[in-house]
Amino acid sequence: MQRNATHTGYYPHQPSFESILNNYTECWSSYSRHNMGALYYSFYLDAPHRDQMMIFPDGCIDLIICCNKDNPTANICGSITKEREGIFSNAGCDVFSIRFLPGYADRFLKHSASHFTDQEIPLQDVIPNAEQLLTHISNETSMQRRMTIFEGFYNQVSRQDYEIPLLVKYITEQITTSNGAISMVDLSQDIGYSSRYISKLFNEYVGMSPKLFSRIVRFQHVLDALLKGNYEGILEEIMELGYYDQNHFIKEFKAFCSFTPKKYIEYQASLPM
């Protein structure tokens, strides 16, 4: 799959979605890319795959909609801080999803991102009239039509005057452009605020501390390299990424993946094409 960088410069991987699920599709609209900071994706979820998904931390918040016409459901899946299996209660249905990039979900959800971290919360518990949205989306079969419906609903319920604080944008950009290698001391000195203040603000909009987000971005950078078959290149880069040594690199990778890097490469190679 050809992957294009977002306007934020950060485009995390969820390989289980990308390589395992039937009819997996990713799509931007010009509005979602520039106004919502959100990527659309869809797939058909069959029963055998429901409990086989490995979900990796990526700093994003996802809205997962099961398009069952008789009983559509939707959960807000907050940023996760360690690898987990599966996020689906139903199978045998089309799934239409929105992945909000770090910092962008607050405009729609109107809650601190930290409220959702490591949580799955029904959309109806957060957004009024969500049932109407789910009915309209589940009655459509076209991804384009579902995107149009969601963007109309988004414009009705989101805070139109909301802007991500420039400081949060700057911190996110510094972390992502450095592939998570920037130190928190350097970041604090650069922007002139204490680490405590930075952490509090970042946690509100992204759902975790900038230090944890940096580790996740670094993991995602390594994951991208492994998926491209560049394990040796990453070994040459580990010191520049802020890993102390190879043991630290392996331990950090396992914290977010549960596999060592080499075992994960073997696992990916074993998957049916």
- Written as one letter, the residue type at 258 is S
Per residue in 237-264, pLDDT (tens digit) is 999 999 999 999 999 999 999 899 999 9
Q: Are 246 and 270 in contact (CB under 8 A)?
A: no
Q: Are 182 and 217 in contact (CB under 8 A)?
A: no
Q: What's the whole-number mean pLDDT along residues 2-13?
A: 63
Q: What is the spatial distance between Cα 27 and Cα 147, in angstroms, rounded to a whole number?
A: 9
pLDDT at 7 over 50: no
Q: What angle do CA 227, 228, 230 make, to 5 degrees?
A: 105
Q: What is the spatial distance between Cα 178 and Cα 181, in angstroms, rounded to a whole number?
A: 5
**The pLDDT value given to residue 5:** 46
Q: What is the spatial distance between Cα 252 and Cα 243, in angstroms, rounded to a whole number?
A: 9
Per residue in 35-60, pLDDT (tens digit) is 899 999 998 877 666 666 789 999 99
Per residue in 165-174, pLDDT (tens digit) is 999 999 999 9
State whether residue 96 is helix, strand or coil: strand
**The pLDDT value given to residue 216:** 97
Query: Taking Cα atoms as reference points, which of 228, 29, 42, 234 lies closest to residue 148?
Result: 29
**The pLDDT value given to residue 52:** 64
